[in-house]
Amino acid sequence: AKRSRMTIKFVLMVNKQGQTRLAQYFGEFLSIKEREALENEVIRKCLKRSENLCSFVEHRMYKLIYRRYASLFFIVGVDGSYNNELSVLEFIHNMVETLDKYFKNVCELDIMFNIEKAHFILEEMVMNGEIVEGNKSNVLAPVLLLDKMGNA
Amino acid sequence: HMSSTLSVCKGIVVCSMLGLLDYTAEQREMLDPRSKKGLLAEQVRQPNPIRLRDLIRQIRSAKTAAEERSVVNKECASIRLTFREEDSVWRCRNVAKLLYIHMLGYPAHFGQMECLKLIASPRFTDKRIGYLGAMLLLDERQDVHLLITNSLKNDLKSPTQFVQGLALCTLAAIASPEMSRDLADEVERLLKSSNAYIRKKAAICAVRICAKVPELMEMFLPATRNLLTEKNHGVLITGVTLITSMCVQSPDTLEHFKKTVGNLVRILKNLVMAGYSPEHDVQGVSDPFLQIKVLRLLRILGRQDSQASETMNDILAQVATNTEATKNVGNAILYETVLSIMDIQSETGLRVLAVNILGRFLLNVDKNIKYVALHTLLKVVHQDNQAVQRHRTTILECLKDADITIRRRAMELCFALINPSNVRTMMKELITFLEKSETEFKAVCSSKCVTAAEQFAPNIRWHVETLLKVIIAAGNNVPDDVVACIIQLIAESGEAEQRYAVEELWQRLTVAPLDVQPLLQVATWVCGEFAHLLNTGETLRVSETEVVEVYQRLLWSSLCTSVTKQYAITSSMKLATRMPQATALVAKMVSAYGSHLDVELQQRGLEYTQLFTRFDSLRGPLLERMPPFERSRLRVSQEAAAATAAAAGGGAPIANGVQEHSNNSVSNASTVNNNESNALLDLLGGMDEQSTKPTSKLNDNATISNNDPVTAAGVPKIPGMNADILDLLGGFDTGHPTVSKAAIGDTGGTAATTVNGASNNILDGLLNNTNNYNTTTLTNNAINTNSSLINSTQPTTLTNTGDYGKLTAYERHGVRLVLSFERQESLSIITLVATNSSSAAITDFLFQAAVPKSLQLQLLTPSSTSLAPSASLTQLIRVNNPNKAAIRMKVRLSWSADGVPVQDQCEVNNFPTALWQY
C-alpha cells in the first residue's frame, strides 16, 4: 500500500503522424531509452485504434486514456489500478478547452511553437500527477498575468 | 542584428549565476537578448544562437530521421559551446531549446546545471524556464538535488507568490526524501498561508513529501484538517487529495480523519445542491473533479466502518439519483458513486441502485461507458453474483465487440459468471470466443477454460469433451499445463470416457495439421496409453499398419516440434506393447532415431532400441498402463493451498526453500548423480561390463555405496539433501500448478508421489534434467527404478556443475529474475528464480524467451504462475547450443499485479561466457 497513489503518470500530446508535441511525466524517473520505448508503444497502440472504439487501452501497468482533437491526440497514462477512466477523459477535455481558451482556437502548431506556454498551463492544472485546479479561468489567470508582466 | 556583450558583462553574469546581485533596470536591459540598447560593438565570437522557433522549423523541415538527428546534434554542440562560455545572455533560450530536444527523445541532461543557474537568476522569466527544465531534465543525481534544494528554500520564502508557486510546483515534482526532510517546514508554513494559490500548491507538495518520508506526515495533520473548511475549490480538491493519500498510507491517519466524514458530506451536498455557478462549472456540473475526489475519500473512510457508512448513505443516494447521465461528466460522477456504494457498508436499497446504474451503463451505446460497466461488474460479481447474472446476455454480447479492450473485460467477467447451472452455455460461448480471438487472448482464455471446466463440470464426459474442444480451439497458444491437465483428466476417467477420447483423438490425429502441437501431444499420449482401445471398439477398428503410418507422418514431419516427437516416440513404444503386431514396425521406426540430429530424440531412439534388444524383458513392465494420478491438477486448489500457506506465514519460507533447494541441487548435482548411478549399478548387477562403463567410472568416485538399492537412493544417503528441504519441496509441490507434467510418465502412487512424478518424467525423457532430486524419494517401485536406469546410462559424467555465478536478468515493476546455470556438454540448464518484490499479488506470470536461430530453447513448466508478495517461483530453461555460439536471449514477461496486466521485455546478453567457451 506504500505505492504512490498519484493519479496521472504522464500526459502526452501526439500528432497523427505519431510525433510527440508535448510530454510531461509525473513522479517516476524514466531514462531516455525507457521513455522512448514507452512513448513508441503507447502512441502505436492508441493511434492504430479506429474512431468508434472506446478511449481506453491497457498497457503494461498503465491505463491509457486518450482522445483525439483534430490532428492531435491527447493521451494520459494513469496507474493501472486507478479506476475512474471517465474522469480522466473529462480532465483531458478540460485541458483542451483551457488550451483553446488561451491560444484562441488552439492547433497543433500553437502547442509546438509555444511548448513552454503549454507546459506552464499544464503546471497550473496538474502537480505531481494530481489535479490542482479544474476551472479554466482560475488556471489561466496567473498565466495571463505573468504574460502581461513579461511583455511589459 | 544583435551581437553579444560578453566581455563587459562577464562580471555581472557570474554574479547573477550565483544569485548574488540584484540588477538595476539598466543592467537587466543590457542582459536582455531582445534589447537593442547598450550592446557593444565587439567582435562576435560565434553567431548568436538561433531561436527555439527557428530550431523547430529546421527540425520540421528535416526530411529523414538522419537529417533530423544531424540538425539536433549540431544544435546540441553549439548549445554546449555556449554553456561553456558562461554566457548567461542566451542561457534561457538555449535551455528552452534543450527542453524541446529532450522531448524529441535526445539526451539533454547536460543542461541540468544550466537549469540550476537559471533558477538562481533573479529574473522571473529565467526562473520559470529553469524550474520547468528542472522538472523535465533532472534525474536521480544526488549532487544536483543538493544544489537545487538551496534555491528552492530561498524561493519558498520569496515575497512573490508566483516565485513561491514555481518552487512548490517543482518541489512537488522532484522531491527526494532528503529534499522532503529539508523543506518540509517551509511547505507546512505555506500550507497555512493566507493565499489560496499558495495553499493549494503546498497541499500537493505535502502529498509528495508524506509519500517520500512517512514520518513527516504527523506535522502536516493540523494544517491539513483546516483545508476542509475552505471555500476555494482549488484548495478543497488538493486538501482532499492530501487527506486521501495520507489515509491510504497509514491506518492511524485513517482513524484520525474519520471525524471529517461530516465535513466531506457537507462539501458534497453543497456541490450537488448548488445551482449554476460559472466559477465551478465544468460541462454543466458543479466541479466534478472535486465531487469525484470527495466520493473517493468517503469510500476509503467508510470501508468496514458501519458508522461512517451510515453517515454517507443519504448523500450517496442523492448523488446517484440527482446526477445527470447524459454526458460523460455525469457518468464519471455516477461511476465513482457506484464504486463507493459497493465498497462501503451501504444499505441494500442503495446497492441495488448502484448495480442498476451499472446495468444502464452496460446498455449504453458509448463504448467508454460500456467498458467502465464491465470493469466494475467484475469487482461487484464476488459480492453480488445474482445481480450481475441478470446482465449475462449483454455481457456475452460484449465478447463479440469490435473493441479489443471491451472483449478483454467481457472475457474476464464471463469467467467470473460461470456457475454450475450455466456452465454449459457459458463454456460454449467462451470456446467460440477462444476460436476467433486474437493470439494474445488464447493462452489466458484456454487456461481459464480449463480451470472453469474443472470447477463446474457436470460430468466427466462433458469435461473431457470440453477440454478437447479448448485445445482444438486454442491451437498452439495453449500453456503447457493445459496439455498436462487434459492428459491427467483422461487418465483418471473411466473406460467409457477413455474410449471416447481415443476415438475422438484418433480421428483428429489422422487429419490434424502437423503444426499444431498441443493437440498432437495429447492425441499421441492418449492413443499410446490406451492403444488397446484402438482396435477393440465397436466403431473404431484401426489396423497396426494404419497406426504406424500415422505416427510416421508425424515423426517425419518438419512441422512437428521436438517435444511433440518425443511424445510420439514414447507413445509408439506403448503402442508396441499393446498391439503386438506393430512391434517390428515400431522397433524399426524407433531405431531410425538413434542417429537423429536432435539429441533428445536421438537419446530416446537409442534408449528405446535397447528395450527392443538387450532389455526386451523390461519393455513390458516399463511401459505398463499408468496408475491413476493422485495429485490435484486444479490451479484453484493450488492457489488455495498457497493462500493457506501464506496465511500461516509460510508462504515465503516455502518459496525460499525451493530456491535454496534448486541452488543446492546445482551444487550437489554431481554427487547425486554418482549416488544415483551407484544405486542403479547395484540394482542391475547383471548388466554387462561394457554398457555400465560410464557408471562404473562414476562408481570409483562415489562416496556412498550401498547394497540396498532403495535406501541407497533414499533421502538420508544423499549429501546436501536434508529431509527439511525435501519437506519443503513436498509442501511446495502440492501447490504446484503444473505437476501434471508428470502425467506423461508413470506414477508410483505412494506417499512421495510428488517427487516420484518428476522421476517418471525421465522415463519419457521430457524433463530428464530435473533429476537432480528425483532419486531422493524413489519408492520401491521397480518400474520407477528401471526408468531411472535408462536415464543414467547416458553419460551423466559429462555434467558440468561448475559455478557460473548468478545473473540478475531483469528487475522492474516489482519483479526480479535471477538466473543460475549448469551445463551438460552443449546443453545449458538455466534455473530461473522470479521473485515478487512488490506488495501486489502477482498472478498469470508468464515467462517467454527467444534465442538466436543456432540455439534451441526449451522452457519447462514453472513451479507456479502466481507469486504472493516476496514469494518466488522457479522455472528451468534448457538451451542447447551445439555450435557454441554466444548465448543471448530475448525475454518477454507478462503477469497481472493485483489484477492489472503488466507486460515487459528485455534482452539478456551477459550470460557467463563459460557456458559456451569450454
DSSP lists the bridge partners of residue B691 as none
Lowest-pLDDT range, A121-130, B246-255, B605-614, B707-716? B707-716
Tens of pLDDT, residue by residue over B165-195, are 999 999 999 999 999 999 999 999 999 999 9
A79 within domain boundaries? yes
Distance from CA of B233 to the nearest CA of A (A): 8
Residue of B nearest to A133 (CA): B234
Q: Is it the case that residue B531 has pLDDT exceeding 80?
A: yes
**Which range marks the domain in which residue B907 is found?**
805-915
pLDDT of residue B802: 57
Asked if residue B608 lies in contact with residue B569, where contact means CB atoms within 8 angstroms, the answer is yes
Is A3 contained in some domain?
Answer: no
Between positions 15 and 44 of A, the ones with CB within 8 A of B are 20, 22-24, 26-27, 29, 31-32, 35-36, 39
pLDDT at B859: 87
Residue of B405, B811, B815 for testing the chain A interface, max A β-carbons within 10 Å = B405
pLDDT for position B631: 58
| C-alpha span between B723 and B533 (Å, rounded) | 43
* A136 inside domain: yes
Indicate the average pLDDT of chain B.
77
pLDDT band (50, 70, 90) for residue B658 = very low
Minimal-distance CA residue of chain A relative to B333? A87
| CATH code of residue B573 | 1.25.10
Contact list in A for residue B367 (CB cut-off 8 A) is 52-55
Element (H, E) at A101: helix A85-103
Q: Within B684-802, where are the H helices? A: 693-701, 709-712, 723-733, 753-764, 782-792
Last residue of a domain, one of B576, B600, B631: B631
Asked whether the predicted pLDDT for residue B611 surpasses 70, the reply is yes
Q: Which residue has the higher pLDDT, A9 or B33?
A: A9
pLDDT in tens, A22-58: 999 997 778 888 999 999 999 999 999 888 889 999 8
CATH number of the domain where residue B844 is located: 2.60.40.1230
Mean predicted confidence (pLDDT) in B389-418? 90
Sign of dihedral through CA atoms B710, B713, B717, B721?
negative
Residues B825, B916: Cα–Cα separation, whole Å = 9
With CA atoms as reference, report the closest residue to B842 among B820, B862, B819, B821: B862
Amino acid, res. B34: R
CA distance A125 to chain B (A): 10
Beta carbons of B132 and A120 less than 8 Å apart: yes
* Count of domains for chain A: 1
pTM of the shown model: 0.64
DSSP of B212-264, one letter per residue?
H-GGGHHHHHHHHHHGGG-S-HHHHHHHHHHHHHHHHH-HHHHHHHGGGHHHH
Count of pairs with CB atoms under 8 A, one residue in A, one in B: 187
With a CB cutoff of 8 Å and minimum separation 6, the contacts of B684 are B692, B789
Q: What's the mean pLDDT when you consider all of chain A? A: 90
When pLDDT is averaged across residues B71-83 and rounded to a whole number, the result is: 91
pLDDT grade, residue B238 (50/70/90)? very high
Whether A2 is in a domain gets the answer no
User: A130 and B204 in contact by Cβ < 8 A?
Assistant: yes
Mark yes or no for CB contact A128/B207 under 8 Å.
Answer: yes
3-class secondary structure, B820: strand
pLDDT number for residue B912? 85
- The answer to whether residue B549 is domain-embedded is yes
For residues B375-410, one letter each, b for 16 or more C-beta atoms within 10 angstroms of the residue's C-beta and e for the rest, the string is: bbbbbbbeebeebbeebbebbbebbebebbbbbbbb
Tell me how many domains chain B contains: 2
Q: How far is A103 from chain B (nearest CA, A)?
A: 17
- Per-residue pLDDT of B248-301, as tens digits, reads 999 999 999 999 999 999 999 999 888 778 778 888 888 999 999 999 999 999
For position B433, what pLDDT does the model report? 93
Contact yes or no for A60 and B904 at CB 8 A: yes
Residue that is last in its domain, among B569, B598, B631: B631
Choose between B697 and B803: higher pLDDT.
Answer: B803
Domain-embedded: residue B170: no
Mutation to test the B interface, candidates A10, A36, A50, A127, most B Cβ within 10 Å: A127
Asked whether the predicted pLDDT for residue B510 surpasses 80, the reply is yes
Is residue B763 predicted with pLDDT exceeding 70?
no
pLDDT in tens, B850-861: 888 888 888 888
Least confident interval from B464-468, B539-543, B739-743, B809-813: B739-743
* ipTM score: 0.95
Q: Is residue B109 pLDDT above 70, yes or no?
A: yes
**CATH code of the domain covering residue A28:** 3.30.450.60
Residue B20 pLDDT > 60? no
CB-nearest to B368 from A56, A115, A116 is: A56
Which residues 6+ apart lie within 8 Å of B463 measured at CB?
B453, B454, B457, B489, B493
User: Mind telling me how many Å the CA of A150 is from chain B's nearest CA?
Assistant: 7
What kind and span of H or E run contains B644? helix B635-647
Let me know if residue B151 belongs to a domain: no
Q: Final residue of a domain: which of B581, B610, B631?
A: B631
Q: Is the pLDDT assigned to residue B49 strictly greater than 70? A: yes
**Is residue B586, in this structure, part of any structural domain at all?**
yes
Confidence of residue B697 (pLDDT cuts 50, 70, 90): very low
Interface test with B, best of A8, A86, A109 (most B CBs within 10 A): A86
A121: containing domain: 8-151
The pLDDT of residue B902: 86
Q: Is residue B884 part of a domain?
A: yes
How sure is the predictor about B46, in pLDDT bands with cuts at 50, 70 and 90?
low
The pLDDT, as a whole number, for residue B45 is 53
Would you call B813 and A3 a contact, using CB atoms and an 8 Å cutoff? no
In a domain, A52, yes or no: yes
pLDDT at residue B14 above 50? no
Shortest alpha-carbon distance between residue B325 and chain A (Å): 12
> Distance (Å, rounded) from C-alpha A73 to C-alpha A20?
9
* Residue A122 domain-assigned (yes or no): yes
The residue among B619 and A67 whose pLDDT is bigger is A67
Query: Which of B64, B104, B235, B289 is the best residue to mutate to test the A interface, defined by the most A CB atoms within 10 Å of its own CB?
Result: B289
pLDDT score of B87: 65
A-chain residues near B376 (CB < 8 A): 83
Residue B446 counted as domain residue:
no
pLDDT at B53 over 80: yes
